[in-house]
Amino acid sequence: MGQLLQQLLNGLTIGSFYALIALGYTMVYGVLKLINFAHGDLFMLGAYLGLVTLMSLVVSMGLSANLLVFMLIFVIVMAVVGGVGIVLERIAYRPLYKAGRLPAIVSALGASIFLQNGVMLLYGARYRTFPEEFKTAVPEVMWTFAGARLTLMQVLMLIISFLLMAALYFFVNYTRVGTAMRAVALDHDTARLMGIDVNRIIALVFVIGPALGAAGGIMVGLFYGRIYFTLGWSYGLKAFTAAILGGIGNIPGAMVGGLLLGLIEALATGFVSDAWKNAIAFFILVIILILRPTGLLGERVAEKL
Amino acid sequence: MKDFRARLRNLDKRGWYLILGIMVLLFPVIVRSDRWVQVANFFFIYAMLGLSLNIILGYAGLFQLGHAAFYAVGAYTTAILSTHFGVPIFVALPISGLLAAIFAILISRPILHLRGDYLCIVTIGFGEIVRIALRNDVSSLVFLAKIPGLALLKEKLTTMVITGGPNGIMGIARPRILGFVFRQQWHYFYLFLAFVAFTIFAMRRLENSRLGRAWTCVREDELAAEAMGIDTVRVKLLAFAIGAAWAGVAGSLYASWVTVIAPESFSFWESVIMFCIVVLGGTGSIPGVLVGTIGMVVLPELLREVLLNIQQWRMLIFGAAMIFMMVVRPEGLWPSQRFRRELELAREMAVPGS
């Protein structure tokens, strides 16, 4: 019983990271029908920038690592990565909107290789670890019930993830810009006729998605304590799986898919075998897609390659 | 001399192909370097893989991003047959192709109804499942012994070695014909060249066959194809089966060439390379795939030579080059006529100023 609860809690934590990253995939897909394979690397960039800002603020400038500083770090890193997202969209994707879907995917893969190797050149190919002293910033409070442990760190991360997701949900559903975003997702040309600046909306999506991914990156870095430059591929693939699982293009779908994938993985690790957890996750994805070809919350859409 | 130059100018297409053919045949003699012959061999392997993926992605338009799975099945079949059972490579080769095709039919049948991006992630998933399975080997299935009634399996599973886990399989036999054993890089060069030449010939025939036209139909409009009496499920399955068989043969050749294979040689990254080869070169175009292979396989090696002091920038430049190529030539480097026309049509139809 304790083990089950423990795995569920772990799964929820990892799942909330997946969900944050999956939102970036699903939002870009929603407005552009493009799989942004570089999104995972933007997440990885967020993890590295998180570490770098943390170091410079706390070690170089001597600020004490309190909650305010952490919030500042989140804001800075999310803004920078959002900016990178906008630049990426301008250079690599915008020229290709009318060229069909395959060229845009290759361009995205090129961008992914570029970002990965750029980070490797800047910060080295080896693991980077978050210094221990930052751990003390979050008091080591821990709750134990029925043999399962839950740390304050975990709780804070869950709260941040859910706050970000709730904010996004509110923004997309209840604001004017969010409405415009949904209109663009439905039909570019009609949205344009309604006076919506489609390119602005696309640019906005390329800010919000990577920014959320970057927030996920900082949290993954803090949670696991070490990061590496290929982090984007492993997490990106998982998050993309989560987005598809929930029905790509659907924002609540990405959240559900992410949490579900995290739970599946944690349960597979705890009760079957750690070595097979990814294979099991993909296997369940295949089964779900065979039964529901457009994911759990996806609508049926006619599309062509 | 003047006469020669005049003749050169008057050469028609055939003449140029002849010159190119002779150049390729003499390549190992011209470069006289084992390293570049090795690069050429990699080119051949990836050209075969690219051409095989081109059937699925280019002709039938099925979004496949897990082609390395079929490549792996071929390579591991040959490796296992060779090391465990002593089967000669040229006997293992067709078996590898066949097994890859059967594997492809088994996994693709339930997912054929998926569209575009959903198919994409499922093929990625299968690719990963295959790689993980190869890395874990059967001994990692010990957890099955926890299931009541299967406790007997425990001893058997822990001692069983099939794929060799993360280390892979070593000591794969080299190919042998009539007592001649392929050893040197240039031996393999001519072996692979023969296979690639045959592949190109077969692809050209396939392209214009009844099946090839059916693939085009399905890619362009599945509903219309079905209305015209094409059995779309069968046609798509055949695309997967033939593409997989060819990838399996390429895997078999690869295994017999390097004689050591490991699961990491068949990672998602390999599938990405194959995918980019096809799209970068020109989806659905045979010369395009060959040019794309030069871009994805030979170019990084050339960069290694050119960028002496700034080696570490190699992949950065490569990634930027991929974006640049696609932005400048979204139809690919050597597109097929059909794709070029489609793209032009799409541009004309697009709303101006959007």
| pLDDT, tens digit, 9 for 90 and up, residues B115-162 | 778 888 899 999 999 999 999 888 777 777 777 777 777 777 777 788
Determine what percent of chain B is predicted with pLDDT higher than 70.
Answer: 94
Residue A69: inside a domain: yes
Residue A154: count of CB within 10 angstroms of its CB: 19
End-to-end CA distance of chain B: 56
User: Inter-chain contact B347–A98, Cβ cutoff 8 Å?
Assistant: yes
The pLDDT of residue B354 is above 70: no
Residue A125: inside a domain: yes
For residue B200, what pLDDT band results from cuts at 50, 70 and 90? very high
Tokens of A247: 């029905």
Residue A161 and residue A17 in contact, taking contact as beta carbons nearer than 8 Å: yes
pLDDT of B350 reads 59
User: Inter-chain contact A106–B283, Cβ cutoff 8 Å?
Assistant: no
Rounded CA separation B308/B319 (Å): 18
Please name the residues in contact with A135: beta carbons below 8 A apart, sequence gap of 6 or more. A225
The verdict on B214 touching A (C-beta cutoff 8 Å) is: no
Distance (Å) of CA A297 to CA A93, A261, A280, A304, B115? 27, 14, 21, 20, 16
- CATH number reported for the structural domain that contains residue A15 in this entry: 1.10.3470
Residue A297: inside a domain: no
Residue A140: inside a domain: yes
- Which one-letter amino acid corresponds to residue B92? A
pLDDT of B353 reads 43
Residue A303: inside a domain: no
| pLDDT, tens digit, 9 for 90 and up, residues A12-30 | 999 999 999 999 999 999 8
pLDDT of B8 reads 65
Distance from CA of B326 to the nearest CA of A (A): 6
pLDDT of B93 reads 95
pLDDT of B116 reads 78
Distance from CA of B21 to the nearest CA of A (A): 31
Q: Which of A35, A95, A110 sits opposite B117 (nearest CB)?
A: A35
DSSP string across B82-149 = HHHH---HHHHHHHHHHHHHHHHHHHHGGGTT--HHHHHHHHHHHHHHHHHHHHHTGGGGGGGGGSTT
Please name the residues in contact with A81: beta carbons below 8 A apart, sequence gap of 6 or more. A42, A45, A46, A49, A210, A211, A213, A214, A217
Distance from CA of B19 to the nearest CA of A (A): 33
Q: Print the domain residue range for A87.
A: 2-291
Residue written as token pair 């080869």: B277
User: Inter-chain contact A117–B319, Cβ cutoff 8 Å?
Assistant: yes
Handedness of CA B200, B202, B205, B208 (dihedral sign): negative
User: Inter-chain contact A279–B276, Cβ cutoff 8 Å?
Assistant: no
Burial B91-128 (b: 16+ CB within 10 A, else e): ebbebbbbbbbebbeebbeebeebbbbbbbbbbbbbbb
Q: Which residue of A has its CA nearest to B276?
A: A106
pLDDT of B15 reads 80
Interface test with B, best of A289, A290, A303 (most B CBs within 10 A): A289
| pLDDT, tens digit, 9 for 90 and up, residues B78-102 | 999 999 999 999 999 999 999 999 9
Distance (Å) of CA B299 to CA A301, B95, B290, B315, B317? 39, 33, 13, 10, 11
The strand pairing partners of A150, in sequence order, are A143
Residue B274 and residue B49 in contact, taking contact as beta carbons nearer than 8 Å: yes
| pLDDT, tens digit, 9 for 90 and up, residues A68-89 | 888 899 999 999 999 999 999 9
User: For chain A, what is the domain count?
Assistant: 1
The verdict on B138 touching A (C-beta cutoff 8 Å) is: no
End-to-end CA distance of chain A: 47
Would strands B180-181 and A148-151 be described as parallel, antiparallel, or unpaired? unpaired
User: Inter-chain contact A101–B116, Cβ cutoff 8 Å?
Assistant: yes
Residue A298: inside a domain: no
Residue B78 and residue B255 in contact, taking contact as beta carbons nearer than 8 Å: yes
Q: What is the CA radius of gyration of chain B?
A: 22
| pLDDT, tens digit, 9 for 90 and up, residues B285-306 | 999 999 999 999 998 888 888 8
Rounded CA separation B342/B354 (Å): 19
User: Inter-chain contact B354–A189, Cβ cutoff 8 Å?
Assistant: yes
Rounded CA separation A154/A51 (Å): 18
Residues on chain B touching A242 (C-beta within 8 angstroms): none
Residues on chain A touching B121 (C-beta within 8 angstroms): 240-241, 244, 285, 289
pLDDT of B162 reads 84
pLDDT of A193 reads 94
pLDDT of B2 reads 62
Residue A230: count of CB within 10 angstroms of its CB: 17
Is residue B2 exposed (0-12), middle (13-18) or buried (19+ Cβ within 10 Å)? exposed
Residue A299: inside a domain: no
User: Inter-chain contact B118–A279, Cβ cutoff 8 Å?
Assistant: no
Is residue B347 exposed (0-12), middle (13-18) or buried (19+ Cβ within 10 Å)? exposed
The strand pairing partners of A143, in sequence order, are A150
Residue written as token pair 């900016």: A83
Task: Report the Cα B215 to chain-centroid distance in Å.
Answer: 19
pLDDT of A136 reads 64
Rounded CA separation A261/A284 (Å): 9
Phi, psi of A149 (to 5 degrees): -105, 140
Rounded CA separation A205/B11 (Å): 54
Q: Which of A91, A109, A189 sits opposite B272 (nearest CB)?
A: A109
Q: Which of B135, B321, B330 sits opposite A99 (nearest CB)?
A: B330
Residue A253 and residue A298 in contact, taking contact as beta carbons nearer than 8 Å: yes
Q: What is the CA radius of gyration of chain A?
A: 19
Rounded CA separation A42/A48 (Å): 10
pTM for the full predicted model: 0.90
Residues on chain B touching A235 (C-beta within 8 angstroms): none
Chain A contacts in chain B segment 90-109 (CB below 8 A): none
Rounded CA separation A22/A43 (Å): 10
ipTM of this predicted structure: 0.88
Interface test with A, best of B63, B117, B147, B217 (most A CBs within 10 A): B117
Tokens of B110: 């339930």
The strand pairing partners of A142, in sequence order, are A151
Phi, psi of A226 (to 5 degrees): -145, 150
Per-residue pLDDT of chain A (305 residues), as tens digits, is: 678 888 899 899 999 999 999 999 999 998 888 889 999 999 999 999 999 998 888 777 777 767 788 889 999 999 999 999 999 999 999 998 878 788 999 999 999 999 999 999 999 888 888 877 666 666 777 788 777 888 888 898 899 999 999 999 999 999 999 999 999 999 999 999 999 999 999 999 999 999 999 999 999 998 888 899 999 988 999 999 999 999 888 889 999 999 999 999 999 988 888 888 889 989 998 898 888 888 888 765 544 43
Rounded CA separation A279/B88 (Å): 33
Axis-axis angle for helices A198-224, A152-174 (nearest 10): 170
User: What's the angle, vertex CA B242, arms to CA B237 and CA B243, rounded to 5?
Assistant: 100
- Which one-letter amino acid corresponds to residue A184? V
Q: Which residue of A has its CA nearest to B344?
A: A99
